[in-house]
Amino acid sequence: MSYMLLIQEPVGQRATRSEAEGRAVYDEMLRFGEALRDEGVLLGGQSLAPLSRATRVRVEAGQTRAVDGPFAEAKEMIGGFFHVDVATHDEAVALAARCPAAAWATVEVRALAPCYEA
């Protein structure tokens, strides 16, 4: 079954790191991804740019509304993700616990499913 490990990090946290610290964190996450690939469970993964480079789009009554970030109400942002394929939710949770980001962010485990499932 497919799961997303969503890295939810505090907005602005990246700005508290020096470039060297940021690169070290990124390298640690790359090594984690490589380990998942070696285990045969990684389907994909990426780091996402900060909210300052994001746009939110809504269509209401046929009118498109786009708002560029950063977003004042945001306390957390999705900083990246790993898409994994494991047999059980417990296995996905165990992978999330191994994720280096769990030390400085929240790793949300979400099963992929059709939107009509409650």
Q: Are 93 and 84 in contact (CB under 8 A)?
A: no
Q: Are 80 and 45 in contact (CB under 8 A)?
A: yes
CA atoms of 87 and 102, how far apart (whole Å): 22
CA atoms of 56 and 69, how far apart (whole Å): 8
Q: In angstroms, how far is the first alpha carbon of the chain from the final one? A: 17
Instruction: Give the pLDDT band of residue 106 (cuts 50, 70, 90).
Output: very high
- 71 has pLDDT over 90: no
Q: What's residue 73's pLDDT?
A: 82
**pTM score, whole prediction:** 0.90
Fold of 2-111: Alpha-Beta Plaits (3.30.70)
Question: What tokens were used for 82?
Answer: 């790993």
